[in-house]
Amino acid sequence: MRVTSLSVSSADTLYRRHGIDVVSFGNSLHDPDCYYLIRTFDSAEKMAAVLNAFYASDDWRSGPREDIIRSIETSIKTVMNLPSESVEGLRLQS
């Protein structure tokens, strides 16, 4: 994902305001113009419901959405089940 750090920070603030647990975000080590975002949810169903509500919200639609979408060259979504200890370990790395 190629976006500006300001856009990533703006989206992070909105995620947190909407109760989305952002474990970590920032620049990828392989390319300073690439970013990662790690969020955690209680279940796949909860993730779908929370993200659907977030992406339909006025905060997102009238916020950083256009800048972020316009900047994305490639987006890869990966979903994993991890024990809470692993999630907390990722949180500490940021």
pLDDT in tens, 40-93: 999 999 999 999 999 999 999 998 888 888 878 888 899 999 999 999 999 976
Q: What is the pLDDT of residue 90?
A: 93
Burial of 63 (0-12, 13-18, 19+ CB in 10 A): middle
**Rounded mean pLDDT, 12-40:** 88
Is this model's pTM higher than 0.75 or not?
yes
Beta strands in the chain (DSSP E): 21-28, 31-40
Q: What is the pLDDT of residue 41?
A: 96
Q: What is the pLDDT of residue 2?
A: 44
CA atoms within 13 A on the CB side of 16: 11
Contacts of 10 (CB under 8 A, 6+ apart): 63, 64
